[in-house]
Chain A
Amino acid sequence: MAKKPGALRKCVQAGWGILSNAYVKGFLPGGPSIYKGELKKICVPGMNCYSCPGALGSCPIGSMQAVFDARQRKFAFYVVGYLALIGLLAGRFVCGWLCLFGLIQELLYKIPTPKLKIPDKIDKPLRYFKYVILFVMVFALPFFVRSKYGIGEPFFCKYICPVGTLEGGIPLVLLNDSMRATLGWLFRWKLLLLIICILSSVFIYRPFCKYVCPLGAFYGLFQKVSLVRMHMDESACVNCGLCAKTCKMNVNPCKTPNSAECIRCRECINVCPKHALSMGICDNSVSKDKVHPVIQEEKRRSKKDVSR
């Protein structure tokens, strides 16, 4: 039986989600308990709340703000360097392959309903919103805004992040009576944002990733310089437009194969009838010997036809 394209990606996404939240003890009833081991010194590459009862690693966005909002007001060299390294190696590959929240949104999008196509006039400016979130809510506010005790706040985690509500808030509140008693307006606000995110994911493909996610915005900054990148073989492309039609992130891989919006899901590669698209490491262009055998055969035939 032929394998469905994209099945491997779903397996990797799910496998990674389970692996990074494998602290089973945290989910057992009997009070809130999260993993407290050394592994939490390391951030996971995707969005994954460190207050999730199962989380084995730290959330990079939360960790970044934790260093920014500390009393000493330090720049987060460790986390920023770590995320920059991942971005430089693979761009937004993490978004497409190693993000549990991305997978959840994709599964919600599979619910059979009419899908919403956001007009370009609204979609394109809205894409910049995630950069505003990154620079204002993750960098500027935690760094500059201080309480009277000289401590900052993780603004993004506190007021926006639906991942924390889904992976941390809801399970911990369900598992613990005393926490349930302290619920206030903030939890209701974050729950509302989560519900909006979940409902919109049914109709729009990965809306959080497209418009809000500061981690995706950060990785997106490195798409044009990353080692793993998309290649488009101009000599093979017939401009059929199938790749652009298939791309659910609304990228046109023929024009901008390394767009900041591409999550390296490879769906365009799978659908290209001429095998003009590929993904690889730090190649400047597709060399002759790397052209797909089908294309090479077609070129040979066309040369023969011309010589006749």
Chain B
Amino acid sequence: MESKKKGEGKEAMKRTVPIWVTYVLILASIACIAFGICRGEVDTVLKKAINICMECIGLG
């Protein structure tokens, strides 16, 4: 069995990015979703999804 070097794995235990960054990014992603909904992107998604996508299935 390999002997363990001192300090090895410490980075593995700790967050390299502070937790507040995650929370800020979560808020930003929620804002993105809200903005997209307000712009009517949901309708674009629905319009594409309820018709058979010929490109997706390989027909053109």
Contact = CB atoms under 8 A, between A and B. Distances in A.
A286 B21 CA distance: 20
B57 A169 contact: yes
Interface string A25-63: 000000010111110110100000111000100110011
A135 interface: no
A144 interface: no
A242 to B, nearest CB: 11
A34 B41 contact: no
Interface in B12-35: 12-17, 19, 21-22, 25-26, 28-35
Contacts, number: 187
A285 interface: yes
Interface of B: 1-4, 8-10, 12-17, 19, 21-22, 25-26, 28-37, 39, 41-42, 44-50, 52-53, 55-60
Contacts of B42: 41, 78
B58 A169 contact: yes
**A-B complex: 8 closest residue pairs judged by Cβ atoms:** A78-B36, A81-B32, A77-B36, A169-B57, A164-B56, A158-B55, A187-B58, A66-B48
Tell me which of A63, A161, A227, A241 has the highest count of chain B C-beta atoms within 10 A of its own C-beta: A63
Given A164-B58, A239-B2, A88 B26 contact: yes
Interface in A207-235: 224-227, 229, 231-234
